[in-house]
Structure 1
C-alpha cells in the first residue's frame, strides 16, 4: 500500500512476530486524523487525579504533579484506527504502564481492566493486553505535548489494538475479575479489537 491507500509493488514489511506490519484492510497515512465521539474538553480538570482501583493490592490516586513526577520513557510504535487508517513510527513520551502496575500490584483474580476518561468514556481490555512492553500513558507525540483533540494532555496507548482501546483524556484504570463492555463495545465495536484479525465490529 502507498500513502494514499493504493496498492504498491513494494514488498510488504513484516513485524518481528512475522505478521505484516500493515494490518489487513488498513491504508497508510502520514496524517493523524481526529476521531472522537465526545466533544474535545476545554482542558484538564483542576482536580484531576489518576485513580487506579479495583482488584489491586495498593489502590492509588495521583495528582497531576505526582503523575508528572513518575519516571518517563520514550518509545516508537505504529498506530491503527478501526476506520482503516494506520500511521507508522509515532514517537511517544510518557509513563510506561509497568511503572503503574508495579506500584498497585494487581491481584491474581484481576483479569480485565476498564480505562476511564474524565469525559465519561470507557473502554475495556484484558489485563494481558494492558501489561505489555509497548503500553504507556502518554503525554507527548512526536516531541510535542499531546494535543487536546488527540487526547491531550494525557491518554492511554495500547498500540497493538485498534485505537478506540487507547482511551483519550485518561483519569482511571479499574481492575476487574470479569469483563464488561466499554462505551464503543456496547455500541457494536469488537470487544478484542485486534487489527491483524480485523476485529472491528461484532
Structure 2
C-alpha cells in the first residue's frame, strides 16, 4: 500500500483555515436518518452521465479495486478541523480507468443515499488527493461516518465529501446539490471561508 507524504507539526498554522477550531474527535453531523446495510448485495456504485458507457460496481467489485493509504486534513463548514487523518480507499484515478468521459464533461455530482447530492468541478474530483474511502484511522467507516463508502475531497469543506456514496454523475454544466440548494456555497474552499452562498 503506497503512503502519501506525512504532515509535519511545523506547518500546523498554515494548515488550519480561518475561523476553524482543531478537534481530536471526529464529530458526526448529518441531516436525516443514517442508512444501514444488512445485505451488501444491495449496495452498488453507479458511474453515469457524460460517459461513453455507464458502469455499475457491486460492493464485491469495488473492494477488489486497488486500495491506497491517504493522509490529509479535513475541515467542516461548522468550524471544526481534524488534522493528520489516515484513510484507506480507492483513488479517483482508479475509478476513472473504468469509464471514458465524453469531452463535454466538466462537472461532477456525487449522489448519496436518501437523495443527498453535492457538486464539484471535474478538475477537483480528478485531483490525486480525492478518493473513495472505506477506512479512517485504521477502522472501517461506521454508518454515521458514511459507510460503506464515502467520497473524500479534502481540499474543500467536508460536506463535499459525500457520505453513503452511491453514484458519480458526470455533467456538462454545474448545478447545485442538496446542500448548495439549501444555502451552502457552490464551491466551498475552506481557506477562502466559502461557507454559504451569500459569502
TM-score for both structures, normalised by structure 2:
0.90
In 2, Cα distance between the equivalents of 1:11 and 1:53?
43
Correspondence 1:34-73 to 2 at 5 A: 34-43=28-37, 46-73=41-68
Residues 119, 169 of structure 1: 8 Å contact kept: no
Number of aligned residue pairs: give it: 188
- The answer to whether residue 20 in structure 2 is matched with residue 21 in structure 1 is no
Q: Which runs of 5+ in 2 are unaligned?
A: 1-8
- The answer to whether residue 107 in structure 2 is matched with residue 112 in structure 1 is yes
Summarize deviations over 1:136-178 as a string: whole Å, max 9, x none. 1000000100011010111000000001100000010000001
Give the C-alpha shift of residue 67 in structure 1: 0.6
RMSD of Structure 2 on Structure 1 (CA): 1.5
Cα–Cα, structure 1 residues 127 and 25, in superposed 2: closer, same or farther, change >3 Å?
same
Residues 69, 89 of structure 2: 8 Å contact kept: yes
Aligned residue number for residue 26 of structure 2: 32
Correspondence 1:1-202 to 2 at 5 A: 13=12, 20-43=14-37, 46-202=41-197
Secondary structure class of the residue paired with 1:53 = strand
Residues 41, 58 of structure 2: 8 Å contact kept: no
In 2, Cα distance between the equivalents of 1:103 and 1:91?
25
Give the C-alpha shift of residue 100 in structure 1: 0.8
In 2, Cα distance between the equivalents of 1:23 and 1:79?
10
Aligned residue number for residue 6 of structure 1: none
Would you tell me which structure has more helix in proportion to its own residues?
2
